[in-house]
Structure 1
Amino acid sequence: MKLFSRTFTLLEQGLDYAATKQKVIANNIANADTPNYKAKDVRFKTELEQAMAPLEAYRTNPKHFPFKSPDTSNFLVTTRSDVIYNHNGNSVDIDKEMSDLAENQIYYNALIERLNGQLNTLKTVIKGGK
């Protein structure tokens, strides 16, 4: 959804991240009692570093800032295999998962509120400030 600024794109990418994280957390919670199941996590830092990589573009002056790539739609899902919490080889810490779930829900709600604000602003502009 490309409207007048990158705000909508960035909010959409944030919502994609939150949805992916929600699915991974739900999967971890569902497999909390599965023997030898290794908990998974969504890594954002790697994606952020890739997004900050310079975009190939022509700069007229070397003092100008380099262009950045905004594409962060694919998030890296990794397996946490360094820790075992249960005697059956399972690495799901249910308390951590529930905490991550609550944190992700707050993040998602904040993004939705921001998106609603952007859409209301756009609606006001379309109506001519009325």
Structure 2
Amino acid sequence: MERSLDAASLRQAVIANNIANVDTPRFKRSEVQFETLLQHSLHGAPGKVVGRRTDPRHLYIGRTGKEVEPQVTIDKNSVMNNNLNNVDIDSEMSAMAKNQLRYNTLVQQVSHEIKLAKTAMEVR
């Protein structure tokens, strides 16, 4: 969930940058890739999922390879306007709303997990 929140936060910044440059000549929009990378990692070859270690004493989960990180990609091929800009304000606003819903859902999930942990730790 932490990586998903990081990706959603990065995606919000990238979309905001796209919107801010909607009228900038020759500006090329960017987007964040995370969910597809995560799915490829989960459905790829067995053992590709790697647990994140927050302490050197923790055990390794899966292979000791690279964790899935969000990646920013630039769409250099498409053109939307006469000024060679490829930002479509309607699709960017839609993507921002979708990302906001995803972020809010993730925050609710994290909050629920914290409440469960607190309940488990309470002494009766």
Return the TM-score normalized by structure 1: 0.74
Q: Separation in 2 of the partners of 1:14 and 1:75?
A: 8
Question: What corresponds to 2:40 in structure 1?
Answer: 49
Question: What corresponds to 1:102 in structure 2?
Answer: 97
Runs of 4+ off more than 2 Å: 46-54, 65-68
Match for 2:19 among 22, 29, 46?
Answer: 29
Q: Separation in 1 of the partners of 2:22 and 2:82?
A: 12
Q: Is the radius of gyration larger for structure 1 or structure 2? A: 1
Structure 1 residues 52, 68: CA separation in 2 closer, same or farther (over 3 Å shift)?
farther
Secondary structure of 1:41 counterpart: strand
Question: What corresponds to 1:12 in structure 2?
Answer: 2
Q: Which amino acid aligns with 2:77?
A: D
Judge conservation of contact 1:52–1:68 (CA < 8 Å) in 2. no
Question: Which digits, 9 at most, give the CA deviation of each residue in 1:36-92, with x for residues without a partner?
Answer: 0000011122354346666xxxxxxxxxx64622422x2111111222111101000
Q: Separation in 2 of the partners of 1:46 and 1:80?
A: 17
**Identity of matched residues, %:** 36
Structure 2: tracts of 5 or more residues without a match = 52-66
1:68 aligns with 2:59: no
Q: Separation in 1 of the partners of 2:47 and 2:77?
A: 38
Q: Separation in 1 of the partners of 2:48 and 2:13?
A: 33
Question: May I ask how many residue pairs the two structures share in their alignment?
Answer: 108
Judge conservation of contact 1:47–1:75 (CA < 8 Å) in 2. no
Structure 1: tracts of 5 or more residues without a match = 1-10, 55-64
Judge conservation of contact 1:21–1:41 (CA < 8 Å) in 2. yes
Q: Separation in 2 of the partners of 1:78 and 1:66?
A: 27
Q: State the Cα RMSD in Å.
A: 2.0
